[in-house]
């Protein structure tokens, strides 16, 4: 059994390769190869533009793929959505397709687009959004450099952004968010009904989800005197309960837990003051709940 898996080329490629590595897969790729090698003999990789992956998964050219929820919607692809994987090019959050106009534009809401020109790559989704709002506007496909289109080539654009900084740099103002998108793992409908391929896809999902969850967490272990244990445990927000093990000295215990990385810098000094010693923080590759 071979699972044909499409990974996104372009802006999402590096983040996806990093996630695959944390999930336990070693991928060898040269800058010019569209068929990277992977150390799993049951997976065959292909690099494809994220925009095209949904239709190739739908047609069965590949069995599964990592792409955007935006492109799955844009293609109206008949695929099975296996899982949502919340990561993007620059971080671990969703990305936004936003309606943006020049700073000095009189357009203040979606209703002001009546009869206007909109440039975007996400044509079908934008047209559907306008229909729901009862707005008639001309939506044109943009082949790139979309932020440069207003005001001469378009009155407004719908563009993908993570931070909004690029739009600001081009003197564009966000009017509203049209579509929130995350990375999704999708499967061909026939492949999903194949027991062997489905197991492989579900295993891939489990490992990717574990790698993503580990991105925001760290392991923490320390030595604690029995008399201080209650104080220490009160400071530890654990996934479940900390692991507590006796040391050779009966007065001391080893305490180990997993916590959010963004709180560890505040907790370590408090643990030290509460009596913890030998505190070790370590990174995690995967957390599987």
Q: What is the residue extent of each domain of the chain?
A: 3-92+183-214, 95-180, 217-283
pLDDT tens across 58-105, in order? 999 999 999 999 999 999 999 999 999 988 666 667 889 999 999 999
pLDDT for residue 89: 63
158 phi/psi in degrees, rounded to 5? -120, 115
* The dihedral formed by the CA atoms of 156, 157, 161 and 166, expressed in degrees to the nearest 10: -70
* Domain at 217-283, CATH from 3.20.20.140, 3.30.460.20, 3.30.70.120, 3.20.20.70: 3.30.70.120
d(C-alpha 134, C-alpha 111), whole Å = 8
Bridge partner list, 52: none
d(C-alpha 5, C-alpha 66), whole Å = 8
Q: Which helix (H) or strand (E) holds 174?
A: strand 172-181
Say if residues 95 and 160 touch (Cβ distance below 8 Å): yes
40-61 per-residue burial string, b: 16 or more CB within 10 A, e: under 16: beebbbbbbebbbbbbbbbeeb
Selection from 158, 154, 80, 164 nearest residue 124 by Cα? 158
| Residue range 26-34: mean pLDDT, rounded | 80
Selection from 5, 99, 104 nearest residue 47 by Cα? 5
pLDDT tens across 215-238, in order? 889 999 999 999 999 999 999 876
CB atoms within 10 A of CB 19: 21
Task: Burial-class residue 256 by CB neighbours within 10 Å (0-12, 13-18, 19+).
Answer: middle
Q: Do the domains 3-92+183-214 and 95-180 sit in the same CATH topology, yes or no?
A: yes
Write down the H helix ranges in 77-223.
123-133, 165-169, 189-193, 195-214
pLDDT for residue 91: 65
Question: Within its chain, how far is the Cα of 267 from the centroid?
Answer: 28
Selection from 39, 36, 43 nearest residue 9 by Cα? 36
pTM for the predicted model, two decimal places: 0.85
CATH topology assigned to domain 95-180: D-Maltodextrin-Binding Protein; domain 2 (3.40.190)
Q: Three-state DSSP class for 261?
A: helix
d(C-alpha 9, C-alpha 11), whole Å = 7
| Residue range 247-256: mean pLDDT, rounded | 95
pLDDT tens across 99-140, in order? 999 999 999 999 999 999 999 999 999 999 999 999 999 999
pLDDT for residue 216: 87
Confidence of residue 30 (pLDDT cuts 50, 70, 90): low
Largest CA-CA distance found in the chain, in angstroms, rounded: 79
d(C-alpha 142, C-alpha 159), whole Å = 10
Summary mean pLDDT of the chain:
92
CATH class of 3-92+183-214: alpha beta
pLDDT for residue 10: 82
d(C-alpha 104, C-alpha 99), whole Å = 15
d(C-alpha 209, C-alpha 228), whole Å = 36
């Amino acid at each position: 059994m071979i699972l044909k898996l499409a990974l996104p080329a372009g802006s999402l490629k590096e983040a996806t390769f990093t996630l695959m590595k944390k999930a336990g897969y070693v991928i060898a790729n040269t800058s010019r190869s569209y068929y990277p090698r992977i150390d799993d003999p049951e997976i065959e990789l292909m690099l494809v533009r994220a925009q095209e992956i949904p239709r190739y998964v739908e047609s069965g050219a590949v069995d599964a793929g990592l792409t955007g929820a935006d492109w799955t919607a844009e293609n109206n692809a008949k695929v099975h959505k296996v899982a949502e994987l919340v990561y993007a090019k620059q971080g671990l959050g969703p990305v936004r397709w936003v309606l943006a106009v020049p700073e000095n534009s009189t357009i203040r809401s979606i209703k002001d687009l009546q009869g206007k020109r909109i440039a975007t790559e996400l044509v079908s989704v934008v047209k559907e959004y306008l229909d729901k709002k009862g707005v008639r506007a001309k939506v044109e496909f943009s082949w790139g450099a979309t932020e440069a289109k207003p005001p001469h080539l378009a009155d407004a654009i719908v563009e993908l952004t993570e931070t909004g900084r690029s739009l600001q740099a081009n003197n564009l103002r966000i009017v509203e968010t049209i579509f929130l998108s995350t990375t999704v793992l999708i499967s061909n409908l026939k492949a999903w009904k194949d027991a062997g391929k489905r197991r492989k896809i579900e295993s891939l999902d489990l490992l990717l989800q574990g790698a993503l969850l580990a991105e925001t967490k760290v392991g923490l272990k320390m030595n604690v005197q029995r008399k201080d244990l209650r104080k220490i445990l009160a400071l530890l927000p654990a996934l479940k309960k900390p692991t507590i093990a006796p040391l050779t000295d009966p007065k001391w215990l080893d305490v180990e837990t997993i916590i959010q990385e963004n709180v560890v810098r505040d907790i370590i000094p408090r643990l030290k003051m509460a009596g913890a010693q030998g505190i070790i923080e370590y990174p995690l590759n995967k957390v599987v709940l």
